[in-house]
Amino acid sequence: MVVDRLKQVASHVSGQTGPPHPLDPLSEAEIAQAVAIVRKEHSGLFFNAVTLWEPRKAQMLAWLADPKTAPRPVRTADIVALGLGSKVYDGTVDLEAEKIVSWKLTENVQPLITMEDLQVVEAIVRKDPRVIEQCGIIGIPPEDMHKVYCDPWTIGYDERFGNKIRLQQAFVYYRPNPDDCQYTYPLDFLPIFNTETHEIIHIDIPPVRRPLNKAPPINYHAEAIEKEGGFRDDLKPINITQPEGVSFKVDGRIIDWQKWKVHIGFNYREGLVLSNITFNDKGTERPVFWRLSLAEMVVPYGNPEHPHPRKHAFDLGEYGAGYMTNSLTLGCDCKGAIHYMDAAFVNRAGEATSIKNAICIHEEDAGILFKHTDFRDESCTVTRARKLVISQIFTAANYEYCVYWIFHQDGTIQLEVKLTGILNTYPMNPGEDLHGWGTEVYPGVNAHNHQHLFCMRVDPNVDGPNNTVFEVDATRGPGEVGSQENYHGNAFYAKKTKLATAGESKREYDGSTSRTWEMVNPNKINPYSHKPVSYKLVSREVPGLLPKEGGLVWRRAGFARHAIHVTKYSDDQIHPAGRHVPQTSGTPSHGLPAWIAANPAENIDNTDIVLWHTFGLTHFPAPEDFPIMPAEPMTLLLRPRNFFTSNPCMDIRPSHSSTPTAVAKGQAVAVGDPASRLVGGGECCAK
Amino acid sequence: MVVDRLKQVASHVSGQTGPPHPLDPLSEAEIAQAVAIVRKEHSGLFFNAVTLWEPRKAQMLAWLADPKTAPRPVRTADIVALGLGSKVYDGTVDLEAEKIVSWKLTENVQPLITMEDLQVVEAIVRKDPRVIEQCGIIGIPPEDMHKVYCDPWTIGYDERFGNKIRLQQAFVYYRPNPDDCQYTYPLDFLPIFNTETHEIIHIDIPPVRRPLNKAPPINYHAEAIEKEGGFRDDLKPINITQPEGVSFKVDGRIIDWQKWKVHIGFNYREGLVLSNITFNDKGTERPVFWRLSLAEMVVPYGNPEHPHPRKHAFDLGEYGAGYMTNSLTLGCDCKGAIHYMDAAFVNRAGEATSIKNAICIHEEDAGILFKHTDFRDESCTVTRARKLVISQIFTAANYEYCVYWIFHQDGTIQLEVKLTGILNTYPMNPGEDLHGWGTEVYPGVNAHNHQHLFCMRVDPNVDGPNNTVFEVDATRGPGEVGSQENYHGNAFYAKKTKLATAGESKREYDGSTSRTWEMVNPNKINPYSHKPVSYKLVSREVPGLLPKEGGLVWRRAGFARHAIHVTKYSDDQIHPAGRHVPQTSGTPSHGLPAWIAANPAENIDNTDIVLWHTFGLTHFPAPEDFPIMPAEPMTLLLRPRNFFTSNPCMDIRPSHSSTPTAVAKGQAVAVGDPASRLVGGGECCAK
Ligand SMILES: [Co+2]
Ligand SMILES: [Co+2]
């Protein structure tokens, strides 16, 4: 059997024995096999995506519950292919039966733009006579066309061109020298590129022209800094080592760390996917989340002047957080003791390729986990925290997004996103009034206002799949000051509002009530608090979508209209802006708005649900962000509330612990940290 | 001269040569000297506080500008002393002229409760016949009174007792065994204690009685965990070392690190005080903040039932973040290469004492500082971040507050506060309805809803003292969707509203506009962006004060009524709830409300101003928080915006840097991190 042979290949590559876990991404061998199966029946195809068709949840849960008897989910590939004439095919392939399960021509859609699609544009732009003409108008002579660069983006949606032709728009730049930062020299016109025919079909030209920026280059790479005066020399090394090894175990793609178990998946679209997350509570593996991922994002820009209103990007749905992911390097991106995982993809030609070190897994010290000192006698227990970080970094043209899924020993899961990279820029004339839509971050460089809005898909599994979401608001109690029931006016409580139907689940953030959302299991009551077990979403960076209702971004990025949506689980609802995002008009809106509109009365109480949360930030650029932006962090927490019966991490050995009795006797239990040192000499308390 | 001799002593202790910096806390010798000077003229005094009377700002700035010619600010002590009959004296003493400068009897106030005041209560409570009687009623026999413990708090304010008598209220607990956590066994009555006469003057008894909890102990100290099944054994050490030393320099109490300079002060009340913070911008030491501190906090509890409405604590104003600060231990509280500073205080008897290792100063790796990869050729620069952490931990009876002032290389200052320790608890009867005011966190243990609200005092000095605060709201642009000016509805901008007078500076947080506040210097314009230089307060944990307008906490904690207040600088306005906080009725409100009400039209535009920011969180307890709470973090940022002309940290040596030209030639500049390792073997890229 071919499958057996492929399994052997896969196990050789991954060091894994036995068949892949049903949630493992497709291996290179499996991708190649899927393509071969398709090719047997269909010719003339290019491949846009070949990825794991995730097992249906019901089947997967049945298998996990009884892996010996229940049928093992079949390895299946989910395929997007392109035929001539911008034809799009969606299909699935059974890799075990070696057959196509489904195959269809999908009309009026454009699948995402791959790195290969992006790479092809620049050379063609440089040669296009109309581009050369435009360059001439703003001061670039024809012999300098090799100094013109472009960052292609999907076109988003432009009503002039619709969605029949697969388009990119080319943000064009100039580099005086190949090593100069091109974002200092944005050009003022925008070629539109036909991805299939490799032609420039149109150029958007602004009403007011802006000649090439004359400001000197500003660069951040090492050679430039050496030339500018060199590096500071007062930063001493800091070493982080784990001489006895790491505290996590890796079994295939399942990580076992500090009572957590999590399967680490990865796909071209969402990048990291964490599945079947459980926490071992005193010997019982309690399910917490079935699946967590960043499922979509949108970056709307705030300049209403032509040709900018169209400028917005769905970095996941239009390009793919997997496809754009960085190959990470030890000691640079990742410090300490690092475990990497690679990521396999298909290319346009149907070959399997891999990005090495796509995922970084490591532990960090996380400061104090808990501490208390008894003021009477100074008896004290202090325990330090550790965290496990599962991360990737992806580059979306000018920007980088660093995504950290962080597991804490107290049962908290944290998502941290850091923004770095370079601002998208546009030229400006000297003294030009930017009307508040952007900032001159460097002479002649206008960086437009924009938002980074991420949609986190949370499939809760809080002690089982049947969960309910409550909105929780810190609320003043009834009774005026001076009344008997509330004499000093100090009463307050957590007001909990059940979200019972999908239609009523579209909720906003409210900072004034410190609003959170609890995912509870109403069938499982905490024996102490008598409240249902829950995980609480604590998210404070929730700016809301600024583009107006009815406008282009509002229509296309329906998921971003509200901080929260809740839907009944469906195997097919992964992508909140739809399966194929480029060149959607937003009329109708795909994804979340459509799913909910189809049945707004759908019950989401005590059933298998998915919570979609849009968070992010609004970015008003400043010169500090240029020419490369110091990382700007944003974070959210998923915290256990009434889930455990007590602090679940008291069995971590404290650094220091003394009881009143021990203090009286002059004894204390201290482990300390033999590696710590006083500046100027001196070792740890425990020595 | 005595002063010279004292300077010698001080320099011997601190390793410092020359006189102390004018902002240095008083040394032990100076405290002793101050007490001696007072004692020469006044007898029969006990001491509540002897601390640095900070130099008047104008004088201090003049001296800093011209230290050779301008008069050096005189070392002066600020004194609070207690005479018999609860008499309170406020005075200042010139330590150089060795004389009392001011001295007055202050009527109708109570200065804070010191650790000595707190320590005295328990023994008296145990012997009081009425307490013994109450214990008997709830099931504690007289022979077990040694098992009764109490956490004394100030009384806050109780109209039955006013403020003539110095009072404490005793939260009473029981310990089956001296090493058991008492918060599992709260008692239901509250003795009121006269701090001067050492008598119980009253006992508050609830209408419904609650016998002693019968639940088994739950403990977190090492002995208990060993007994309960022991510690997890799968956590491997993680070592953080700086073999070549730290990257900061210490000159007295001035720290010089990565272009930052900051003077580290400390007092009994605010704890850490950071002064004269500057950032070296390409050779120019630019002032950023004159002074930063946590100036006050309040913890209101949300149960309106007698005797709880009175329950709230001003941990700084009523006890002192300095007095309650922990002596930190290397390798336990602090990991890596650590520099400590001690803190000196007066005791009741007028003797100087010190808390060793009160302040921890250390560096940490901080992940990626910035990164960008060119998707064309994979040329890439990645630079890692470092941060400097200046921290203290203080224990307020049951709670601990870990305070981290964090300096980043990009010019950002971060304040992080972690809450840990133990919940304040109250007994409950089996099955008792808690009415939403608390949670049963363990059988028989009711933890009440509460807030932790901190007031950060920010004295900006953004390129000089004359600053203005603008409120900044992310705002949709004008023009409906479809209009010519805003066709796609995508326009948005940063709406900036000047706070021109103290009266109009009382502002709330608005999460829906991602509201921030910019402290700008309107006299200094960024040459690129043409916007005034500024530092922006980014704070997202701003729950607002839940106790109602007109109620006790609202009246007493005036600073907490609004997220922001701005006042014109005054040397005397340090404490936003007033100089003496215990037993204030809030009628009138002291501190901020009084200062602003005195002159609401006071100009705060382009003058020396102070911004007061109240942030924090609302805590609805859960069993996870018991018996000891995993640290709950909250954070805020002070970020440079339009302050620099570019990213100010590009001269930090990257871990990896390659230009397109270098990539083409197969070259790259990599420093990497020789200590990093792959799990299972393998070293850094740079090797
Ligand atoms: Co941005
Ligand atoms: Co709390």
Hey, are the CB atoms on B367 and A402 less than 8 Å from each other? yes
Q: Looking at the annotation, which residues of B are catalytic?
A: 315, 399
* Mean pLDDT for the stretch of residues A23-44: 98
Pairing state of beta strands A669-670 and A677-678? unpaired
Q: How confident is the model at residue B346 (pLDDT cuts 50, 70, 90)?
A: very high
Q: Are A466 and A608 in contact (CB under 8 A)?
A: yes
What pLDDT is stored for residue B360 in this prediction? 98
What pLDDT is stored for residue B16 in this prediction? 53
CATH code: domain B115-227 is: 3.10.450.40
Per-residue pLDDT at A8 exceeds 50 = no
* Mean pLDDT for the stretch of residues B403-425: 98
Adjacent-strand bridge partners of B335:
none
Which one of B631, B678, B680 has the shortest CB-CB distance to A370?
B631
| Identity at B161, one-letter amino acid code | F
Q: Which ligand is nearest to the CA of A401?
A: 1
Interval between CA A450 and ligand 1 midpoint (Å): 6
Residue B162: CA count within 13 A, CB half-sphere: 5
Which one of B231, B386, B435 has the shortest CB-CB distance to A235?
B386
Q: How many CB atoms neighbour CB A524 within 10 A?
A: 18
What pLDDT is stored for residue B9 in this prediction? 43
* Mean pLDDT for the stretch of residues A628-632: 98
Per-residue pLDDT at A10 exceeds 90 = no
Hey, are the CB atoms on A238 and B236 less than 8 Å from each other? no
**A359/A346 Cα distance (integer angstroms):** 18
What are the residues whose beta carbons fall under 8 Å from the beta carbon of A671, sequence distance 6 or more?
Answer: A653, A654, A655, A656, A686
Task: Locate B127 and state its tokens.
Answer: 């012997």
Q: How confident is the model at residue A316 (pLDDT cuts 50, 70, 90)?
A: very high
Task: Locate B166 and state its tokens.
Answer: 């110095």
Q: How confident is the model at residue B17 (pLDDT cuts 50, 70, 90)?
A: low
**B445/B429 Cα distance (integer angstroms):** 9
Say what percent of chain A tops pLDDT 70: 97
What pLDDT is stored for residue B680 in this prediction? 80
| Identity at A527, one-letter amino acid code | P
Per-residue pLDDT at A586 exceeds 50 = yes
Render pLDDT for B580-622 as a digit per residue (tens, 0 to 9): 999 999 999 999 999 999 999 999 999 999 999 999 999 999 9
Q: Which of A10-19, A523-532, B520-529 has the lowest mean pLDDT?
A: A10-19
Q: Which ligand is nearest to the CA of B398?
A: 2
Helix then strand count (H, E) for chain B reads 10, 34
C-alpha closest to that of B155 among B196, B128, B190: B190
Q: How confident is the model at residue A681 (pLDDT cuts 50, 70, 90)?
A: confident
CATH code: domain B2-105 is: 3.10.450.40
Per-residue pLDDT at B98 exceeds 80 = yes
Hey, are the CB atoms on B440 and A528 less than 8 Å from each other? yes
C-alpha closest to that of A391 among A438, A430, A357: A357
Say what percent of chain A tops pLDDT 90: 93
Interval between CA B488 and ligand 1 midpoint (Å): 20
Q: Closest residue of A to B487, CA-based?
A: A304
From A493's Cα to the closest Cα of chain B, the distance in A is: 6
Per-residue pLDDT at B356 exceeds 70 = yes
**B369/B410 Cα distance (integer angstroms):** 8
Which one of A222, A395, A626 has the shortest CB-CB distance to B657?
A222
Which one of A149, A234, A630 has the shortest CB-CB distance to B410?
A630
Q: How confident is the model at residue A666 (pLDDT cuts 50, 70, 90)?
A: confident
Interval between CA B452 and ligand 2 midpoint (Å): 6
Enumerate the CATH 3.10.450.40 domain ranges in chain A, comma separated.
2-106
C-alpha closest to that of B269 among B5, B52, B30, B6: B52
Render pLDDT for A233-269 as a digit per residue (tens, 0 to 9): 999 999 999 999 999 999 999 999 999 999 999 999 9
Instruction: Give, in order, the Cα–Cα distances in Å from A23 to each of A48, A65, A266, A569, B53.
Output: 21, 15, 9, 18, 65
DSSP of A492-506: EEEEEEEE-BGGGG-
**Given phi > 0 = left and psi -120 to 50 = alpha, else beta, which region is B615?**
beta
Task: Locate B429 and state its tokens.
Answer: 């009867």
- Residues around ion ligand 1, judged by CB within 5 A, are A 619
Q: How confident is the model at residue B86 (pLDDT cuts 50, 70, 90)?
A: confident
B126, B149, B158, B238: best mutation site toward chain A, by most A Cβ within 10 Å? B238
Hey, are the CB atoms on B678 and A338 less than 8 Å from each other? yes
Which one of A618, A631, A649 has the shortest CB-CB distance to B630?
A649
What pLDDT is stored for residue A11 in this prediction? 43
Q: How confident is the model at residue A667 (pLDDT cuts 50, 70, 90)?
A: confident
Contact list in B for residue A547 (CB cut-off 8 A) is: 488-490, 492
Hey, are the CB atoms on B420 and A629 less than 8 Å from each other? no
Render pLDDT for A113-123 as a digit per residue (tens, 0 to 9): 999 999 999 99
Interval between CA A452 and ligand 1 midpoint (Å): 6
Per-residue pLDDT at B156 exceeds 80 = yes
Q: Residues of A186-221 as b/e, b for ≥16 C-beta within 10 angstroms?
A: bbbbbbbbbbbeeebebbbeeeeebebbeeebbbbb
Q: Tell me the residue ranges of DSSP E strands in B422-465.
A: 425-427, 438-442, 445-448, 450-460
Hey, are the CB atoms on B329 and A672 less than 8 Å from each other? yes
C-alpha closest to that of A81 among A102, A60, A95: A102
From A181's Cα to the closest Cα of chain B, the distance in A is: 10
Q: Residues of A525-561 as b/e, b for ≥16 C-beta within 10 angstroms?
A: ebebbebbbbbbbbbbbbbbbbbbeebbbbbbbbbbb
Per-residue pLDDT at B191 exceeds 60 = yes
Enumerate the CATH 2.70.98.20 domain ranges in chain A, comma separated.
249-301+312-371+384-423+449-479+489-641
Distance of CA B28 to the CA centre of its chain: 23
pLDDT mean across residues, chain B: 95
What pLDDT is stored for residue A17 in this prediction? 62
Hey, are the CB atoms on A242 and B238 less than 8 Å from each other? yes
Q: Closest residue of B to A362, CA-based?
A: B679
**B248/B240 Cα distance (integer angstroms):** 16
Q: How confident is the model at residue B674 (pLDDT cuts 50, 70, 90)?
A: confident
* Mean pLDDT for the stretch of residues A413-424: 98
Interval between CA A615 and ligand 1 midpoint (Å): 14
**B239/A274 Cα distance (integer angstroms):** 28
Q: Count contacts between A and B (CB, < 8 Å).
A: 650
What pLDDT is stored for residue A672 in this prediction? 81
Which one of B324, B489, B641 has the shortest CB-CB distance to A548?
B489
Task: Locate B227 and state its tokens.
Answer: 């007994």
Q: Looking at the annotation, which residues of A are catalytic?
A: 315, 399
Q: Closest residue of A to B475, CA-based?
A: A546
Hey, are the CB atoms on B232 and A510 less than 8 Å from each other? no
- CATH superfamily for B249-323+351-480+524-641 is Copper amine oxidase, catalytic domain (2.70.98.20)
| Identity at A587, one-letter amino acid code | T
Helix then strand count (H, E) for chain A reads 10, 34
- CATH superfamily for A249-301+312-371+384-423+449-479+489-641 is Copper amine oxidase, catalytic domain (2.70.98.20)
From B276's Cα to the closest Cα of chain A, the distance in A is: 22
* Mean pLDDT for the stretch of residues B296-300: 98
Interval between CA B328 and ligand 2 midpoint (Å): 22
Task: Locate A91 and state its tokens.
Answer: 């299909």
- Measured torsion, CA atoms of residues B485, B489, B490, B495, in degrees rounded to the nearest 10: 70
Enumerate the CATH 2.70.98.20 domain ranges in chain B, comma separated.
249-323+351-480+524-641
Task: Locate A443 and state its tokens.
Answer: 């002479």
Task: Locate A546 and state its tokens.
Answer: 């600024």
Enumerate the CATH 3.10.450.40 domain ranges in chain B, comma separated.
2-105, 115-227
Q: How confident is the model at residue B667 (pLDDT cuts 50, 70, 90)?
A: confident
Residue A553 phi/psi, 5° resolution? Answer: -70, -40
Q: How confident is the model at residue A7 (pLDDT cuts 50, 70, 90)?
A: very low
Say what percent of chain B tops pLDDT 70: 97
Q: How confident is the model at residue B6 (pLDDT cuts 50, 70, 90)?
A: very low
CATH code: domain A2-106 is: 3.10.450.40
What pLDDT is stored for residue A559 in this prediction? 98
What pLDDT is stored for residue B683 in this prediction? 63
What are the residues whose beta carbons fall under 8 Å from the beta carbon of B605, sequence distance 6 or more?
Answer: B468, B498, B499, B500, B501, B522
Hey, are the CB atoms on A368 and B393 less than 8 Å from each other? yes
Hey, are the CB atoms on A373 and B643 less than 8 Å from each other? no
Q: Which ligand is nearest to the CA of A451?
A: 1
- Residues around ion ligand 2, judged by CB within 5 A, are B 619
Q: Which ligand is nearest to the CA of A453?
A: 1
**B586/B297 Cα distance (integer angstroms):** 15
Q: How confident is the model at residue B655 (pLDDT cuts 50, 70, 90)?
A: very high
Hey, are the CB atoms on B647 and A625 less than 8 Å from each other? yes
Which one of A310, A332, A675 has the shortest CB-CB distance to B241?
A675
Q: How confident is the model at residue A670 (pLDDT cuts 50, 70, 90)?
A: confident
* Mean pLDDT for the stretch of residues B642-654: 98
Render pLDDT for A468-524 as a digit per residue (tens, 0 to 9): 999 999 999 999 999 999 999 999 999 999 999 999 999 999 999 999 999 999 999
DSSP of B230-279: ---------EEE-TT--S-EEETTEEEETTEEEEEEEETTTEEEEEEEEE
Q: Closest residue of A to B445, CA-based?
A: A528
Contact list in B for residue A676 (CB cut-off 8 A) is: 240, 330-331, 334-338
Adjacent-strand bridge partners of B334:
B330
